[in-house]
Chains A and B, each alone.
Chain A
């Protein structure tokens, strides 16, 4: 596979979408959605992150091996998050004597 050269137009398009998403997430911050404001902010951030990784960092254009490593970084992070939260969320669900 030759070195991927991403066309300039793709970069520009990704850049414009990123700025639009920034505007959207900032406007949404002014609307009170209770606990969902954090969920939506994180979701938009995740879309922005995947755009940056896919195009600016050319992850979409790299070999399968590189994409597996990229996905691996995300998966390991999610494992860490899930395992820690399964502890903290479920604490106090069951009554233990002496606690």
Chain B
């Protein structure tokens, strides 16, 4: 097993540990750029909400907090199973790793299913920005702006989820082919970092979109 790990060290690294640390650092730098990527949207949302708190509260009242909470629980659970998958890879348990990766992907798909159900409900309620949008109350254009942010930010998040499921598929394929051992499991850990990061983004999206609309 040690030989297997040693064989996977690229020539520009002295040790497997140096390679692992470099890859981890690179992944975190990528995630820092992702923070800025989503960060711009969070800043824009903050500015608009500061200007139109009433209309954004009205928009938030159209959210389904039950589905939102269930979805958050699903995503936190998937993050947990992903962390356990990384753990199984680190201790060299390929069978458990495969199982946990499949569970994580299934939870990710359940999340997307619930999310798209919500999109469909908003669509039926004419809360889709554009010509289809219809809101009879005051400040309709501001309420529409809330839904622009909602669709854009949760949509970008959903896109990240879809990419995450794709990444896990690749990792699953490699795990089933026996590519990982106790000495070499960095790709699993990197996929785990990405998956949990996407979970973190959702926790904030849940806080700004779902939790504000009950007292308008």
Contact = CB atoms under 8 A, between A and B. Distances in A.
Contacts of B35: 73-74, 76-77
Nearest to B215: A32
Given A8-B87, A15-B80, A49-B203, A73 B25 contact: no
Contacts of B46: 81, 84-85
Given A41-B212, A45-B207, A56-B79, A3 B50 contact: no
Q: Is the interface of A mostly helix, strand, loop or mixed?
A: helix
Contacts of B80: 11-12, 14-15, 18, 56
B120 interface: no
Contacts of B189: 58
Given A22-B76, A66-B24, A8 B84 contact: yes
Interface in A1-54: 1-3, 5-6, 8, 11-12, 14-15, 18-19, 22, 25-26, 28-30, 32, 35, 37-38, 41-42, 44-45, 48-49, 52-53
22 contacts: A5-B91, A15-B76, A22-B73, A26-B211, A42-B204, A42-B208, A45-B203, A52-B76, A53-B200, A56-B82, A56-B196, A66-B28, A69-B32, A70-B28, A73-B31, A76-B32, A81-B39, A81-B42, A84-B46, A88-B47, A88-B50, A89-B50
Interface of A: 1-3, 5-6, 8, 11-12, 14-15, 18-19, 22, 25-26, 28-30, 32, 35, 37-38, 41-42, 44-45, 48-49, 52-53, 55-59, 62-63, 65-66, 69-70, 72-74, 76-77, 80-81, 84-85, 88-89
Interface of B: 17, 20-21, 24-25, 28-29, 31-32, 35-36, 39-40, 42-43, 46-47, 49-51, 53, 65, 69, 72-73, 76-77, 79-80, 82-84, 87, 90-91, 185, 189, 192-193, 196-197, 199-200, 203-204, 206-208, 210-212, 214-215
